[in-house]
């Protein structure tokens, strides 16, 4: 298989942990329901590729995201492989946490917003109300020994409110992290961010007491900027990147949100820069091509397209 020529880039971290979101964020917006057995096999294949952190599913109300209504069944199929701190699940509230705890998970993620409009559309609550909803979720999860991640969506722009001021994002992020979360993921939900915006937001978060070593980045590729924005964040000290195998993804509450940064595209760029990921790129391309076949359409990842055809 073709591999990138390695030219070490000392401006990047020596290693990056990829937070694989394909099984959850990648599949949640698919119109055709993916069988539970296929979802479980997808997670198993991703783990075999060397991806250590894999977000497996979501315990949202099944009527909100029908694609993920089978969370318990998927985790049951995965068994021990679906548990532990490296297999987080998304939970929206205490009812979702109850289901997650009953399933024996080892890590959860909460999903907040930087804007009022998206908080209302996604959670049916104001920003203030959503923080209060998450407070007991985080407290109970931490009390049970679970790792907790906080997502903040619409960090770089909102389809209803337009540009989102950096101080507004910092306020939303710090309020969620003050609940006791371990890690923060910054979401460019509709893919409108640019590199200068990334630098400015990370600097503001650092000044507010949230340094890059507590942050992950989550870019969508609507305008083709996901990889460039990710590399900008890495040069600012971030070393955790959310990505989706095959570039799958979208958001059921924001129609302008297209696919996530493709894990293969990220791995190609990082390996070419001499950055360690622990990922077997050939196996990952094979896995994404397999999933594309199950979905009945080509993978949007440029690296998958190039290497699967070679």
Is the pLDDT assigned to residue 164 strictly greater than 50?
Answer: yes
| Cα gap 110→146, rounded to integer Å | 12
Report the number of distinct structural domains present in the chain.
1
pLDDT digits (tens, 9 = 90+) for 32-82: 899 999 999 999 999 999 999 999 999 999 888 999 999 999 999 999 999
Within a domain: residue 142?
yes
What does the DSSP 8-state code read for residue 251?
B
CA distance 260 to 214: 21
> Of 12, 16, 14, 82, nearest to 216 (Cα)?
16
Q: What is the CATH number of the domain that holds 136?
A: 3.20.20.70
- Please, are residues 288 and 246 in contact by the beta-carbon 8 Å criterion? yes
Residue 188 located in a structural domain: yes
Are 264 and 304 within 8 A, CB to CB?
yes
Residue 173 lies in a domain: yes
pLDDT at site 64: 87
pLDDT(193) > 70: yes
Start-end of H helices in the chain: 36-48, 71-78, 94-102, 116-123, 127-143, 166-177, 195-207, 226-235, 263-272, 281-295, 302-308
Question: Annotated active-site positions, please?
Answer: 251
Q: Tell whether 75 is covered by a domain.
A: yes
Quote the domain boundaries for residue 148. 19-308
Residue 1, in any domain of the structure: no
Asked if residue 11 is part of any domain, the answer here is: no
Query: Contact, 262 vs 246, CB < 8 A?
Result: yes
The whole-model pTM stands at: 0.96
The verdict on residue 273 lying in a domain is yes
Does residue 222 lie in a domain region? yes
* Beta bridge partners of residue 67, listed in sequence order: none
Kindly report, residue by residue over 246-287, the tens digit of the pLDDT.
Answer: 999 754 444 544 689 999 999 999 999 999 999 999 999 999
Rounded-to-integer distance, Cα 53 and Cα 175, Å: 25
All residues at 6 or more sequence positions from 100 whose CB lies less than 8 Å from its CB, including other chains: 59, 89, 91, 108
Residue-averaged pLDDT of the chain: 94
Q: Scanning the structure block, which residue is given the tokens 């609940």? A: 179
Q: 50: Cβ–Cβ under 8 A, 6 or more apart, which residues?
A: 277, 278, 279, 280, 283, 284
């Amino acid at each position: 298989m073709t591999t990138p020529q390695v030219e070490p880039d000392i401006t990047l971290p020596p290693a990056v942990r990829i937070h694989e979101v394909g099984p959850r964020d990648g599949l949640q917006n698919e119109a055709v329901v993916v069988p539970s057995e296929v979802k479980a096999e997808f997670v198993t294949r991703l783990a075999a590729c060397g991806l250590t952190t894999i977000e497996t599913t979501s315990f949202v109300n099944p009527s909100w995201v029908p694609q993920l209504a089978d969370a318990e069944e998927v985790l049951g199929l995965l068994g021990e492989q679906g548990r532990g701190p490296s297999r987080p699940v998304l939970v929206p509230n205490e009812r979702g946490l109850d289901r997650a705890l009953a399933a024996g998970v080892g890590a959860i993620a909460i999903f907040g917003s930087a804007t009022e409009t998206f908080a209302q559309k996604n959670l049916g609550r104001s920003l203030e109300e959503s923080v209060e909803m998450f407070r007991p979720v985080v407290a109970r999860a931490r009390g049970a020994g679970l790792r907790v991640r906080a997502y903040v969506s619409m960090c770089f722009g909102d389809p209803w409110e337009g540009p989102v001021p950096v101080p507004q994002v910092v306020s939303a992020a710090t309020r969620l992290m003050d609940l006791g979360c371990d890690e923060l993921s910054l979401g460019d939900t509709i893919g409108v961010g640019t590199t200068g915006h990334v630098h400015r937001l990370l600097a503001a978060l650092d000044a507010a007491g949230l340094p890059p070593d507590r942050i992950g980045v989550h870019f969508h590729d609507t305008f083709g900027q996901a990889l460039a924005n990710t590399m900008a964040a890495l040069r600012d000290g971030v070393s955790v990147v959310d990505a989706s195998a095959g570039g799958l993804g979208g958001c059921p509450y924001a129609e302008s949100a297209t696919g996530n940064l493709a894990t293969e595209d990220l791995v190609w760029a990082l390996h070419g820069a001499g950055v360690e990921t622990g990922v077997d790129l050939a196996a990952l391309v094979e896995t994404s091509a397999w999933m594309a076949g199950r979905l009945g359409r080509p993978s949007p990842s440029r690296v998958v397209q190039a290497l699967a055809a070679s």
